[in-house]
């Protein structure tokens, strides 16, 4: 029996739900997608019933009400970091969605781009020029436009965070993955190193309640695994985020979440950057203790992708026809917190002299 056979008897029910709730065709498409996931996860041939469909829709609406709309765009941190070191700046571009842009924080120095730029300049002792091209609300289909601009800057390294909105918008996974793979491929053609933080586990988001949370977790993990395969095949490296920050967010949601209870706080972003920084430094060829792996394995790419989803914080990189998996110690985002005599300097010891706008 196909999914069409399952959903065909539900058509009249869907029509009734549409009349009651004003569902669009897009809503119905997403419900059918949800039905396939529920049916696969539970082994139920019936898939999604009208009752569970209504429940999921109510939960999605509740989550949208709980998660406020953006009051203001995230701050920009573009400019040169570590100009005091002299020499040609290394060009860093940040692509992706609101997480990459740093939505939820109030100071440029708290955004992921600034954290990466400050950390790189300190470790390499060279200036870093940051261009944040990530767009709040972007899905993977928006990456081609971002990379068009990125290529104009001739970047040395690109960090991409994308996937959350593809899950919440029920984007077609093959198309989303294709856009990401094409983006990595275009950047690699010009010699730009690429590190991708794969889709986080949206099942860890508090405003999303079961059973919608269970679906979000399944979609997130499936997308993250597919992203890993596409990125590595295109010559980039991935770092699985998954639910790596989940226990910390569970233990201290006030400190780790921003006010919308959906995006990370400044501390949350610093934690995420600390997980990805060893891979970023490794692709830049640094000889640094932080890039010494604590575990390493080589597997077929599909196996590595699945394992990385289950072991957040894992780097997956191409090795010929195989994939290498590595785990690093976290980069310490507080180890230099008092550099420059600024006890409130923030992650990686940011001081105002680190950053020159323009």
Active-site choice (138, 263, 274, 354): 263
Tell me which range, 20-29, 104-113, 283-292, 299-308, is most confidently predicted by mean pLDDT. 299-308
Q: Which pLDDT belongs to residue 270?
A: 84
Higher-pLDDT residue of 95 and 263 is: 95
Is 166 considered catalytic here? no
Q: Other CB atoms closer than 10 Å to residue 335's CB: what's the count?
A: 13
Is 263 considered catalytic here? yes
- Encode pLDDT of 224-277 as tens digits: 999 999 999 999 999 998 766 555 555 555 555 555 555 666 677 888 898 999
Residues in Cβ contact with 166 at an 8 Å cutoff, skipping those fewer than 6 apart: 139, 140, 173, 176, 199, 223
CB-neighbour burial class of residue 26 (10 A; exposed 0-12, middle 13-18, buried 19+): exposed
Active-site choice (182, 260, 297, 306): 260
Higher-pLDDT residue of 41 and 284 is: 284
Answer whether residue 349 shows pLDDT above 60.
no
Active-site choice (27, 78, 98, 274): 98
In angstroms, the CA 74 to CA 200 distance is: 20
Omega of the bond leading into 211 within 30 degrees of 0 (cis): yes
Of 31, 117, 32, the C-alpha closest to 347 is 117
Domains of the chain with CATH codes: 79-328 (3.40.50.1110)
Residues in Cβ contact with 331 at an 8 Å cutoff, skipping those fewer than 6 apart: 119, 273, 274, 275, 277, 278, 281, 290
Strands 193-197 and 157-161: parallel
Average pLDDT score over residue span 157-166: 93
In angstroms, the CA 72 to CA 90 distance is: 30
pLDDT-above-90 percentage for the chain: 44
Strands 193-197 and 295-299: unpaired
Pull the structure tokens for residue 75: 């701050």
Is 260 considered catalytic here? yes
Both ends of the chain: CA-CA distance in Å? 60
At 327, is the secondary structure helix, strand, or coil? Answer: strand
Answer whether residue 141 shows pLDDT above 90.
yes
Higher-pLDDT residue of 72 and 299 is: 299
DSSP per-residue letters across 110-144: GSHHHHHHHHHHHHHTS-EEEEE---TT--GGGHH
In angstroms, the CA 156 to CA 355 distance is: 19
Contact 275, 313 (CB under 8 A): yes
Q: Which pLDDT belongs to residue 123?
A: 92
Residue tagged 């026809």 (tokens): 321
- Encode pLDDT of 117-140 as tens digits: 999 999 999 999 999 999 988 999
Rounded to 10 degrees, the C-alpha dihedral 109/115/117/121 comes to 100
In angstroms, the CA 71 to CA 104 distance is: 9
Minimum mean pLDDT range among 33-37, 65-69, 336-340: 336-340
Of 232, 248, 250, the C-alpha closest to 240 is 232
DSSP per-residue letters across 234-269: TT-EEE--BTTTHHHHHH-HHHHB-TTSSSB-HHHH
Q: Which pLDDT belongs to residue 167?
A: 82
Whole-number average pLDDT of the chain: 76
Minimum mean pLDDT range among 104-108, 145-149, 186-190: 104-108
Instruction: Tally the C-alpha atoms within 13 A of residue 253's C-alpha that lie toward its C-beta.
Output: 9
């Amino acid at each position: 029996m196909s999914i069409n056979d399952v959903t065909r008897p539900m058509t009249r029910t869907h029509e009734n739900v549409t009349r009651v709730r004003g569902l669009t065709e897009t809503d119905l498409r997403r419900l059918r997608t949800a039905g396939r996931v529920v049916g696969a996860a539970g082994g139920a041939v019936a898939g999604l019933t009208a009752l569970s469909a209504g429940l999921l829709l109510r939960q999605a609406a509740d989550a949208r009400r709980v998660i406020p709309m953006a009051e203001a765009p995230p701050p920009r941190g573009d400019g040169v970091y570590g100009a005091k070191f002299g020499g040609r700046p290394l060009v860093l571009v940040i692509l992706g969605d609101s997480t990459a842009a740093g939505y939820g924080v109030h100071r440029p120095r708290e955004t992921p781009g600034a954290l990466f730029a400050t950390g790189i300049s300190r470790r390499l002792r060279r200036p870093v020029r940051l261009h944040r091209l990530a767009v709040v609300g972007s899905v993977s289909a928006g990456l081609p436009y971002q990379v068009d601009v990125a290529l104009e800057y001739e970047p040395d390294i690109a960090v991409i965070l994308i996937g959350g909105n593809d899950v919440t918008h029920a984007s077609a996974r093959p198309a989303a993955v294709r856009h990401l793979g094409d983006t990595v491929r275009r950047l690699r053609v010009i010699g730009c190193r690429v590190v991708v933080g794969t889709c986080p586990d949206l099942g860890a988001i508090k405003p999303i309640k079961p059973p919608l949370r269970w679906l979000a977790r399944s979609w997130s993990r499936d997308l993250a695994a597919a992203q890993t395969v596409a990125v590595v095949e295109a010559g980039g490296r991935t770092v699985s985020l998954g639910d790596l920050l989940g226990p910390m967010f569970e233990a201290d949601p006030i400190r780790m979440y921003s006010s919308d209870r959906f995006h990370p706080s400044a501390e949350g972003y610093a934690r995420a950057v600390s997980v990805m920084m060893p891979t970023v430094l490794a692709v830049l060829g640094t000889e640094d203790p932080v890039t010494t792996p604590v575990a390493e394995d080589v597997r077929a790419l599909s196996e590595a992708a699945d394992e990385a989803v289950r072991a957040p914080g894992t780097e997956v990189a191409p090795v010929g026809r195989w994939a290498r998996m590595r785990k690093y110690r976290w980069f310490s985002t507080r180890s230099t917190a008092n550099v420059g005599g600024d006890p409130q300097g923030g992650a990686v010891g940011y001081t105002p002299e680190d950053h020159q706008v323009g």
